[in-house]
Structure 1
Amino acid sequence: MSLDRNLKTIGPQSSWTDIWHLWTVIVPRRSINGQFVVGKVWRRRDGHDWIYKKFTEFDGEEAA
């Protein structure tokens, strides 16, 4: 039996780290009114680093 070394093995992390997913972040600083800064971003793993994109919400009626 010979093994094909060109096949990529898919580990348990590969399935969710290779796609963009919505992530809630809390920035460890306070806003003007004293609350923590909270927001949502798109996040994906690229090799060893995380890549972040701005998440903008839209109104469903305007998109139609």
Structure 2
Amino acid sequence: MSIDRNLRTAGPQSTWSEVWHLWTVIVPRRSINGRLVYGKVWRRHDGRDWIYKKFTEFDGEEAA
């Protein structure tokens, strides 16, 4: 019997980590483009590391 090691294990952790979610960073982290980010950021797991993107809030009244 052979085992395919390329298959990803299904589980709640892997599903949640593959989508961007809002996260609060206290210790500054490097973003995708190499800048330091802290506070509210977008975070996603790429299978090996966590990736961070700057979160910018917008005013709903200005967008309308």
Q: The TM-score by the shorter chain falls in which range?
A: 0.5 to 0.7
Structure 1's consecutive aligned runs of 4 or more residues displaced over 6 angstroms after TM superposition are: none
**Superposed displacement of residue 41, structure 1:** 0.3
Equivalent residue, structure 1, for 2:20: 20
**Superposed displacement of residue 27, structure 1:** 2.4
Fraction of identical pairs, as percent: 80
TM-score normalised over the length of structure 1: 0.65
Say what the alpha-carbon RMSD is for the aligned residues: 2.1
SS in structure 2 opposite 1:13? Answer: helix
TM-score normalised over the length of structure 2: 0.65
Equivalent residue, structure 2, for 1:54: 54
**Superposed displacement of residue 9, structure 1:** 4.5
SS in structure 1 opposite 2:19? Answer: coil
CA distance in 1, matches of 2:26, 2:44: 17
Equivalent residue, structure 1, for 2:34: none
**Based on CA coordinates, which of the two structures has the bigger radius of gyration?**
1
Q: How many residues end up aligned between the 2 structures?
A: 50
CA distance in 1, matches of 2:51, 2:9: 23
